[in-house]
Amino acid sequence: MADISTAGRLKGAVASIFIDGEAGTTGLGIRERLAGRSDLDLRSIDPSRRKDPEARREMLAGVDLAILCLPDEAARETVALADELGPDAPRILDASTAHRTASGWTYGFAELVPGHLDAIAASTRVANPGCYSTGAIALLRPLVDAGLVPADHPLSVNAVSGYSGGGRAMIEAFEAGRGPAFELYGLGFAHKHLPEIVAHAGLTSRPILIPSVGDFRQGMLVSIPLHLDRMPGRPRPADLENALRQHYSGGGQVRVVAASAADRLEPEALNGTDVMELRVYGRGDDALLVARLDNLGKGASGAAVQNAAIMLGLREEARREAA
């Protein structure tokens, strides 16, 4: 990665971070990953002043980076507060859906395209990706860029996640034993991750995204079936895998793993890590692209920590994440 200097940018001897919404699942995951670091100063608002706009404004003015783990509207309100600060505004990393396709914001998937890590480093406004989006974009963007998957090709994205990604009500239901073993949802064909998948996978046609949730806390599988004989050039599964390997050869948190027809993939294998694995299965004219990740790791908190390290120029951490 580029040698990113923090000289003249930081407001103190070490980088200061405010996690707005630190009590939520993503915020807790970020704080746990960052706690105890000597090169970071994690700050919190007094709980009694949590909803006080002036307290929030003071906090924003005094830190180098604000990480927003908030509902979309609350995230927009915090960004508006920061914008009022002018040159005293912190850099912002937004983990909500609010700014993932917004003008002036950098999409926080460091491995997206060559040089994108440097774009994150130079940005003052970064949008952390969604969990399903991370898997789908990781699989599709290299293949679209390589001309193997047409941008307007009809695609279906199937995904299963642990219940921790479904919000407080879903988490409480499953942890109380009231959740089903498995269920499909998002059957209105308008899942909130669709716009960012289209935008950042380089698509011109909207895919069908069918998410599901299982009775396990965390972990995720995202799969995309392809009829290779319906695609221009009729690529082979090996062509798809080679394109993915070439794209991710520069390091990062994405690994391309050799696939076997004997595999039995379960979604929890990467829990507790910030790594994502990609596989290509194929036979004849049929192929299946699969991404496996921890929806709370590379799909949320882990990606946020990676982006925070890049934005703040924390060289040791950023080098580790890019290795």
Q: What Rg value do the Cα atoms of the chain yield, rounded?
A: 20
Beta partners for 221? Answer: 160, 292
Is position 131 annotated as part of the catalytic site?
yes
**Burial of 195 (C-beta count, 10 Å sphere; 0-12/13-18/19+):** middle
Compute CA distances 262 → 9, 259, 292, whole Å. Answer: 52, 9, 17
- How far CA 152 is from CA of 144, 206, 211, 223, 288, in Å, comes to 10, 8, 21, 18, 18
Token readout for 138 is 């990781």
Give the count of alpha carbons within 13 A of 172, CB side only: 4
Token pair of 39, please?
Answer: 């090169």
Q: Nearest CA to 163 among 155, 153, 174?
A: 174
Residue type for position 219 = G
Q: What are phi and psi of 176, to 5 degrees?
A: -90, 5
Output the CA–CA distances (angstroms, integers) from residue 34 to 200, 224, 301, 321, in the order listed: 28, 34, 10, 14
Cα angle, residue 264 at apex, residues 261 and 268 outer, rounded to 5°: 145
What angle separates helix 131-145 from helix 237-247, to the nearest 10 degrees? Answer: 110
Closest-CA residue to 82 (of 105, 101, 65, 102): 65
Contact 289, 135 (CB under 8 A): no
Annotated catalytic residue: which of 131, 138, 213, 259? 131
Q: Which amino acid is at 90?
A: P
Please give the positions annotated as active site: 131
